[in-house]
Chains A and B, each alone.
Chain A
């Protein structure tokens, strides 16, 4: 039983309506359209104010040069064309390659680090989150207490979490003490990255688990019983029933976690300041944005725009490969059938 098949068992009235629409060609009901737009309008208005305005402003700023000093005072830089983008994408500082110690020199390295964090943390969180959710969905005494306990890591403000893990992973901290180790966690590239990944996974697995759990709760026991009667093994039941039915919830969780990690800031900023390894080995794009904003708002705006485009690209690939259907977009499969 797959997701597509469950679509074909759509309730009869809905199917009737679908067929009625097909009979009328693909024409839309104007009343329905108006009602939909009214329902959507408040959300779009808030988003336009809080996100749309800053994004538009950043794009405009990214084509302006940063201020430079004349006679001791900063003056406006004027139109810059694509210079700010060259600074990042081509790592050019004026006519020369950006030297080490300039923010531009680390752009591609930082992109790589950000993607690395994203792939690793989201994968681990998915596996752990699924496992947590499966267990929490079972029946056992103290279930609601366990569910609350699991949420604790996520309820602690990120800044406090970061301080907590900074403290745990410091050289004379509890992690080294417990394991009798002498790891310089925030000095070494991979140790520092591991520390950040552990903290992020610890903090956000509850998010994943909770969403998956909500998906699992929509599945009726009867479906499993029926499958059991048909002789399906636990493994088969997992792949044939659980996975397809929770896929929408999982994909939403995955998608939003991916978008969040791509913009990760507080944890690495507080734990390492972006340092360790070669000095920039835990710098994420958001950290680079903050660092650059202290040099010049316009080049930082170009970097924000590039980050936005990168995240957009990843989300696009995501929706393309994991199915627009599951992410809530108009299900084309259904309409065609």
Chain B
């Protein structure tokens, strides 16, 4: 009896060795087999996204469900942190999980997921109509010339400025930093964006680099192009401003919220941030800048700068069992109805040009024309399957350059070397 029990537990242990060979390696190949399956199948699906933080998503899904009682969409919410959402998607795709049918994919993960074979290519029966959609948003959902996702929401940076102190908003970096004299007189800080070492720094650094005519990665998604005089010039703007004090020293720890906080408490003249700040700064009881601020397109070198594109795409999992339903749901997410809801109830930037021109919505969100300018001039962050490594290369080196630990020229050289190492599988 006792021997039997020992033997049983030993047997249980030894079976653990078996899955070793099967599960090791992590990640699938291009998984083309799954691309051909379930293309015409319909039925209930699950839509996965990070924790809903708007008032629109639930309503969008409810309206779909009312019209499609046999093909209902169930919402699965992930946690609130983007990193965890990314890792959760990778794990579920790796497990070939058919429970995730439609997923919300951050713009910057699209290439990685496509290259890993997780996303169903939107071709043939599954093609989407991209007429009337913002060109930059459509491109942001492509990889290697194939549409892998449907743009769902967009986002672009804007320059918030104190309209009570600055009469005409600066169009160029030179004009902006010239206006820092006004900040000095008012005893407030001049300019801040997101300079903490996280994804926001990649956004801000690439805006500076792109605005100066530089770029980070070539169109093949792996050859670094960042080691250039233009990129150096762009990065140098931020580095010099930080060392001159035009960007306050604490801004090196700023993410979106810290900058908003500083601006709302009246301690900051210019702030680069996303559209969400607008309604908070004009509505929050604690805001000291109500009616004293406005928005302008981001500054550049000769005219409007290049915002980094944000937003989310909706994609179909290669392992979905109901792809015909999934593509209909994608199309619904892109419809004018859903897009107006996203903006009207959720303040999410739409991907349809005409929604930006809806007079009722412009009245509600006065920043819409500026945002449209920003997004139309926007440049996507590098579209590369090695995005996580590329963004680290940009962050580490841009951070060092801004803090003055290395020159901007050295920083872009190191960025290029790190991107090269990453794209060769290191």
Contacts and interface: CB of A to CB of B under 8 A. Distances in A.
Q: Do chains A and B touch in the complex (CB under 8 A)?
A: yes
Interface string B233-252: 00000000000000001101
7 contacts: A37-B6, A60-B24, A74-B385, A96-B417, A102-B389, A103-B392, A171-B253
B399 A279 contact: yes
A48 B10 CA distance: 10
Contacts, number: 171
Given A77-B425, A295-B386, A38 B5 contact: yes
Given A104-B426, A187-B250, A99 B418 contact: yes
Contacts of B417: 96, 99, 101-102
A48 B385 contact: no
B117 A73 contact: yes
B29 A75 contact: yes
Contacts of A179: none
Contacts of A251: none
B197 A273 contact: yes
B27 A74 contact: yes
A69 interface: yes
B113 to A, nearest CB: 10
B285 interface: no
B339 interface: no
B426 A94 contact: yes
B250 A171 contact: yes
Interface string B2-43: 100110010011001101110111110110000000000000
B225 to A, nearest CB: 15
Contacts of A94: 421, 424, 426
B24 A184 contact: no
Nearest to A67: B27
Contact of B117 (A74, A278, A298): A74
A294 B388 contact: yes
Contacts of B115: 69, 72-74
A52 B16 contact: yes
A73 B30 contact: yes
A113 B259 CA distance: 29
B389 A295 contact: yes
Contact of A172 (B12, B23, B261): B261
A76 interface: yes
Contact of A297 (B26, B252, B405): B26
A170 B258 contact: yes
B222 interface: yes
Given A93-B421, A101-B418, A296-B425, A187 B253 contact: yes
Interface string A285-309: 0000011011111110000000000
A297 B25 contact: yes
A279 B425 contact: no
Given A170-B258, A182-B250, A291-B388, 15 more contacts: A61-B24, A64-B25, A65-B425, A66-B425, A69-B423, A72-B385, A73-B116, A93-B421, A100-B396, A101-B418, A102-B422, A184-B250, A274-B197, A291-B392, A294-B388
Contacts of A93: 421, 424, 426
- Interface SS, B side: helix
B30 A75 contact: yes
Interface of B: 2, 5-6, 9, 12-13, 16-17, 19-21, 23-27, 29-30, 83, 86-87, 115-117, 143-144, 196-198, 222, 249-250, 252-253, 258, 261-262, 265, 385-386, 388-389, 392-397, 399-400, 405, 414-415, 417-418, 420-426
Contacts of B250: 171, 182, 184, 187
B149 to A, nearest CB: 15
Contact of A72 (B19, B143, B425): B143
A295 B388 contact: yes
Nearest to B413: A99
Contacts of B261: 172
A127 to B, nearest CB: 30
A41 B425 CA distance: 42
Contact of A100 (B27, B117, B414): B414
A104 B418 CA distance: 10
Contacts of B13: 44-45, 48, 52
Contacts of A275: 196-198, 399
A16 to B, nearest CB: 28
Contact of B86 (A98, A170, A185, A294): A294
Contacts of A278: 400, 405
What 6 A-B pairs come out closest when comparing CB atoms? Answer: A297-B26, A101-B418, A99-B417, A275-B197, A73-B30, A101-B393
Contacts of B30: 73-75
A102 B17 contact: no
Contacts of B87: 293-294
Interface in A120-173: 170-172
